[in-house]
Structure 1
Amino acid sequence: MFSLLRGSNCSRLTAHRLGWSTPSPTSSSPVGDGSFGVSAPKPSIFNEFALKDRVGIVSGANRGLGLEMALALCELGAKIYAIDLPSTPSDDFKTVANYVKAMGEGRKLEYISGDVTDQLAIRAEVEKIGTNEGRFDVCIAAAGVLGPTIPTLEFGTEEFDKVLAVNVKGVLHTAQAAGRQMVRFGKGGSIIMIASASGTVVNRDHEWIAYNTSKSAVLQLARNMAADFGPQRIRVNTISPGYIYTKMTAAALEAQPELHERWASANPLGRLGLPEELRGVAAWLAGDSSAYCTGSDILVCGGHTVW
């Protein structure tokens, strides 16, 4: 019912947006015969995903999912600053940064050592990026920790606070810092928070109460920010991955090989996800093709939550 391709008036609106020459009602060529007048149609969908010259940050991008998503944005033309805790970037990051540099055309991937739990420090770093680049467009808040596996009745306040400090406060600080720059330049923007399927359902047989609680909090944090920032054309959404095979999860699987089958069988697709399988949704949310999407959670979990 809402498709722009239905009805003659809507068809003409779509054709105008795409730069087509539409036949007039008196044209000898009937509408729908495949003729587009003097100019051939040119696809516009690729432009809607393009991020050329756009500037942003990805926290937790020294490795793993964060680095994979940072690379995706750079491939689309963006200048991305990766913020993570280590004082120097990992070998994986250096490899990806060199790859981005080799692509050229204004793409950039730079590393900044920073602690997302330090609100003022992150705010200052992101403000510096905005000042140097003269714009700010996209943010992916991907820094997070799993925390210890401790029975609920034994879980201490200190351990609980450490997980929430990174997974909730850190996401808040990152999104705040980005949002301030987006408001400063007045061009809107996209904030993407990495939540988890664990924020929607409980991981069976895993005592991850702090982690699961923190990811559920991220979902509500994004919804609140989406409501607050909408008038400034700043969109806020979340991505909720399921069990993804990364170097971090690989270490856990090496220690407990039986987990692989348990995790893989927990979703209808019967396998673990791969980091690159988050690239598409991150790219979509970052660009103009998702301009009417805010306050949404995109589950990338192989159907884990349907059971």
Structure 2
Amino acid sequence: MASSKKAQSVSPLAPLGIEAAMKAKEDPNSVVRPKIFDEFALTDRVGLVSGGNRGLGLEMAIALAEAGAQVVYCFDLSKEPSEEFKASREYVSKLGNGSRLEYFCADVRNQELLWKKAEEIGDKEQRFDFCIAAAGILKPHVECLEYPGHEFRDVMEVNTTGVLFTAQAAGRQMARFGRGGSIILIASMSGSITNRDHAWVSYNTSKSAVLQMARSMACELGEQRIRVNTLSPGYIYTQMTTAYLDKEPHLFDKWSGMNPLGRLGRPDEMRGVATWLASDASSFLF
């Protein structure tokens, strides 16, 4: 006997998959077309990316624009956007889908400023749909018993406290507009495992805290259809890791060998998963 209970949730793109196939069978004249790319589309959506002046943050911002986001607001410490950002902004303007990148200067440690900036974005765009908290720093390795207090605090304030403030700023606007949304916190494999030779007590601790932060926020914000997830990349060859490897070049081969593929990751390899998490294709992932 068929259940009389109604589905608790329905995709805005329904019917999909099997349901679409069954409806097509009932109506031979119906038009059949693939919808999987529609599920990944970010058409008309608005969001925020911290650490978006270069590196992983900017790489993911471009991907979101390519997926159709109306505007991706990127912010970083630099008062002026980098040459990479300027080139990326021009590139996005030529996509032909109406997407754009915007830049503003902000410090992730300034909670009041981030809340204010996010509110200004909400006022202007009248929606807020996604957030990627990608800003982070990496300090030189120091033995844990000798680690300076000021350096530990610096890493924790940017990599953990700054992530919270960024997520708060975006989440407040998502709650304000009542459309739900997706918050993506960039953690690291170092939050789950420890490289014995380079433990990075501050970095590992900060990223472990981000993982737990996401779990707590996901539970609290889920009722408002605001999803919170983390990405924990392995070693990615970015400007930040390049600067570190320049000082300890012997680690290049060592880090590459720790990966089953035998190489470091590319920044562009984060594009797909970031777009997936920001889109409706991951609507039950939290």
Matches of 1:61 and 1:17, distance apart in 2:
40
1:284 to partner: Cα distance: 0.5
Q: Which runs of 4+ in 1 moved over 4 A?
A: 12-17
Whether 2:30 is the aligned partner of 1:39: answer: yes
CA distance in 2 between partners of 1:195 and 1:226 (Å): 15
How far did residue 260 of structure 1 move?
1.1
* Helix, strand or coil at the partner of 1:42: coil
Pair member with larger Rg: 1
Q: Normalising by structure 2, what TM-score?
A: 0.91
**What's 2:52 paired with?**
61
Structure 1 segment 224-239 matched on structure 2, within 5 A: 224-239=216-231
State how far apart, in whole Å, the 1-side matches of 2:17 and 2:180 are. Answer: 26
> Could you list the runs of 5+ residues in structure 2 that have no partner in the other structure?
1-13
- Assess, with a 3 A threshold, how the Cα gap between structure 1 residues 15 and 164 changes in structure 2: closer, same or farther: closer
The structural deviation recorded for 1:23 is: 3.2
Contact 1:20 1:41 in 2 (8 A): no
The corresponding residue for 2:25 is: 23
3-state DSSP class of the match of 1:242?
coil
Residue 141 in 1 paired to residue 121 in 2?
no
CA RMSD, 1 decimal:
1.7
Residues 188-235 of structure 1: CA distance to partner in whole angstroms, max 9, x if unpaired? 000000000000001231141000100000000000000000000000
Matched, 1:185 2:187: no
1:263 and 2:252 aligned: no
Segments of structure 1 that go 5 or more residues without pairing to the other structure are 1-11, 25-35, 295-307
Contact kept in structure 1, 2:131 and 2:182, CA below 8 Å: yes
Separation of aligned partners in 2, 1:249 and 1:16: 45
Contact kept? 1:18, 1:44, Cα under 8 Å: no
Mapping of residues 241-280 of structure 1, within 5 Å = 241-280=233-272
- Tell me which residue corresponds to 1:48: 39
CA contact 2:72–2:100 (8 Å) conserved in 1 = yes
**Cα distance, 1:22 vs structure 2:** 3.2
Structure with larger RCO (C-alpha < 8 A, sep 6+): 2
CA contact (8 A) 1:60 1:143 kept: yes
Instruction: Please say if 1:74 is aligned against 2:65.
Output: yes
1:136 partner SS:
coil
Gap change, CA 1:160 and 1:254, over 3 Å in 2: closer
* 1:156/1:254 CA distance change after superposition, 3 Å: closer
Distance 2:251 2:79 in 1: 32
Alignment length (residue pairs): 272
Query: Paired residue for 1:291?
Result: 283
TM-score normalized by structure 1?
0.85
> Counterpart of 2:252 in structure 1: which amino acid?
H
Q: Over residues 42-75 of structure 1, what are the superposed CA-to-partner deviations in whole Å (9 max), with x where a residue is unaligned?
A: 1011110000110000000111000000011010
Retained in 1: the 8 A contact 2:24–2:32?
A: no
Matched-pair contact (CA < 8 Å) for 2:235–2:265 = yes
